Amino acid sequence: MHTELWRIILAGLFALLIGWSLGYPFEAVLVGVALYMVWTFSTISNLFNWIDKGMRDIPPDADGVWGEISDTLNRQRRRHRRSQSKMRSTIKRVTRVTEALDQGVLVLRSDLTLDWWNSSAKSLLGLRSSDRGSAIVNLIRDPKFVNYIHQQAFDTSIQMRSTLHEGRLLDYSASYFSGEEVVLVITDITRLDNLERLRKEFVGNISHELRTPLTVLRGYVETLKDMPGNTDIADKAFDQMATQVNRMQTLADDLIVLSRFEADSNVSDHSPIELHSLLQEIVAEATQLSNGSHNLRMNCDPSVQLCVEMHGLRSALGNIVFNAVRHNPAGADIEINVEQTAGYVSVRIKDNGVGIDPQEIPYLTERFYRGDSSRNSDTGGSGLGLAIVKHAVARCGGSLYINSRLGQGAEFICRFPLRVE
């Protein structure tokens, strides 16, 4: 700009001097301005022609402000090309990564029409190039998927059998990105499903098969224990054998119950259950188990009813109450409070016993997990009780919450939806 200003000033002075010497200073200045405008428009025309051609060649030769503009545009062009090259390289790399995935990946526009997919998605869903722009619900018509993909928030995934490949089980997981666009990830979990089914069948079968030999062992131990002439050492050995056989029998029974719950986790409605009567039975059994050494109290409105499976509800609440008796010292208070709110019934089972380390709470409902030895050393627990509780509560359509601290007791909350037939 500095150069251009000096050029205008010098051209004006030169035209003024020439005009003054000829006696026409004003006319000479106008001619100078006209010549400068012609040169400027010529330079601008060359610059725009270069821009219109995509700025592929060397920019036109110019100096001053227009030369600076052309040089700036040329630098921007080179930077843009470098950015484009990097972007193309990144896109190719991401494409190669997604093509190498076993999971199918689909990108859906905000109106849930197909925008892009990888090879795995093409194979799993049988997609064709002509499907781009089609609504995903026209390709996957299952009502379960239609309800899932129209959610406002995708907190979970869904599993469905493939209609294209017989026997395949697919897991669909969606999430929002870049505004209202959706990325849908499809995973073939057939192998995991088969392994899980085999595991459940194995656990169920082995549990049933254990019952016969355990019954035989128990019978022989009881017979040998009652035989005359046994020494104190023999009696002690038979007592320990009987205790271990009973523990194995309890473990087998728990495995059978857990396998049954895992095999059929569908929530279904049943005849109304009077919760007050059920809890009275559980408290009576817990009092007998406690032998009067614990203080059990129950607060439940007799009118409260739940339309859930009786066996599942009894297993869930009974296991929690019996655990509170087994794992807490004599004199501990155990309270059972039932609260009914709009649409839900909450059963709170609280004690003031030894409590549970908060770090252990996330693992309590896992199979065979046993907490601090101080809670379990004398109980002979199988580590399946709370796993059964979790599945039983889920089978009833409810949720389980656990609150506890060491030395401050524990609180188990079973929240069930209130179904009215």
Is 82 strand, coil or helix?
Answer: helix
Q: What number is the average pLDDT over the span 327-349?
A: 90
Does residue 55 surpass a pLDDT of 50? yes
- Of 52-61, 306-315, 383-392, least confident by mean pLDDT is 52-61
Report the DSSP pairing between strands 333-341 and 344-351.
Answer: antiparallel
For residue 348, give the nearest of 358, 357, 339 by alpha carbon.
339
DSSP string, 364-376: TTSTT----HHHH
What pLDDT, on a 0 to 100 scale, did the predictor assign at position 184? 92
Q: What is the mean pLDDT of residues 100-116?
A: 89
Distance separating alpha carbons of residues 399 and 416, to the nearest angstrom = 7
pLDDT for 284 equals 92
DSSP for residue 74: H
Tell me the Cα Rg of the chain: 40
Question: What token pair was written down for 95?
Answer: 């494409």
Report DSSP state, residue 358.
G
Alpha-carbon distance of 220 to 76, in angstroms, equals 93
Instruction: Please give the backbone phi and psi of residue 5, each rounded to the nearest 5 degrees, phi first.
Output: -65, -45
Per the model's pLDDT, the better-predicted residue between 60 and 400 turns out to be: 400
Residue 61 to residue 99: CA distance in whole angstroms: 48
pLDDT by residue (tens digit) across 260-278? 776 665 555 567 888 899 9
pLDDT at residue 85 greater than cutoff 70: yes
Q: How many CB atoms lie within 10 A of CB 262?
A: 19
Averaged pLDDT for residues 287-313: 88
CA-CA distance, 73 to 70, in Å (whole number)?
Answer: 5
What was the pLDDT predicted at 297?
92
Model pLDDT, residue 373 = 44
Q: Which residue has the tokens 């271990």?
A: 244
What's the confidence (pLDDT) of residue 401? 92
Average pLDDT over residues 367-384: 58
Residue 375 has a pLDDT of 45
Q: What is the pTM of this model?
A: 0.54
Q: How far is CA 193 from CA 74, 169, 228, 292, 392, in A?
A: 60, 8, 55, 47, 21
The pLDDT, as a whole number, for residue 3 is 63
Is 259 buried (19+), middle (13-18) or exposed (0-12) by CB count in 10 A? buried
Class of domain 199-263: mainly alpha
**Helical H runs in 24-63?**
25-52
Q: Is the pLDDT of residue 323 over 70?
A: yes
Topology, domain 101-188 = Beta-Lactamase (3.30.450)
What is the C-alpha separation between 271 and 308, in angstroms, rounded?
Answer: 7
What share of the chain in percent tops pLDDT 90?
20
pLDDT level of residue 419 (50, 70, 90 thresholds): low
Q: What does the pLDDT read at residue 377?
A: 43
Superfamily for the 273-417 domain: Histidine kinase-like ATPase, C-terminal domain (3.30.565.10)
Percent composition of the chain: helix, strand, coil (DSSP 3-state, to 5)? 55, 15, 30
Strand (E) or helix (H) holding 400: strand 399-404
Q: Are 160 and 145 in contact (CB under 8 A)?
A: yes
Measured CA to CA, the distance from residue 292 to residue 41 in angstroms comes to 107
pLDDT, mean of residues 57-84: 76
Residues ≥6 apart with Cβ < 8 Å to 103: 120, 185, 186, 187, 188
CA dihedral 386, 388, 394, 397 (to 10 degrees): -110
Give 378's pLDDT tier (boundaries 50, 70, 90).
Answer: low
397 — phi, psi (to 5°)?
Answer: 80, 15
**Once rounded to an integer, what is the mean pLDDT over residues 242-258?**
80
Q: Tell whether the model's pLDDT for residue 372 goes beyond 60.
A: no
Between helix 310-326 and helix 385-395 the angle, nearest 10°, is 150
- State residue 388's pLDDT score: 81
Q: Please, which pLDDT band fits residue 6 given cuts at 50, 70 and 90? A: low
DSSP characters for 111-143? TSBEEEE-HHHHHHHT--GGGTTSBHHHH---H
Share of the chain above pLDDT 70, in %: 88
How do residues 121-172 score in pLDDT, each as one tens digit?
888 888 888 889 999 999 888 899 999 998 888 888 999 998 888 888 999 9
Phi and psi dihedrals of 58, rounded to 5? Answer: -70, 140
Q: Which of 79-83, 194-198, 410-414 has the highest mean pLDDT?
A: 410-414
The pairing of strands 333-341 and 295-299 is parallel
Arithmetic mean of pLDDT over the chain: 82
Q: In angstroms, what CA-CA distances link 115 with 105, 107, 135, 136, 187?
A: 11, 6, 10, 10, 19
Q: Which of 36-40, 117-121, 123-127, 336-340 is least confident?
A: 36-40
Structure tokens given for 353: 């016993």
List CB contacts of 110: < 8 A, sequence separation 6 or more.
Answer: 179, 180, 181
CA distances from 181 to 115, 174, 222 (A): 10, 10, 70
- Reply yes or no on whether the pLDDT at 396 is more than 70: yes
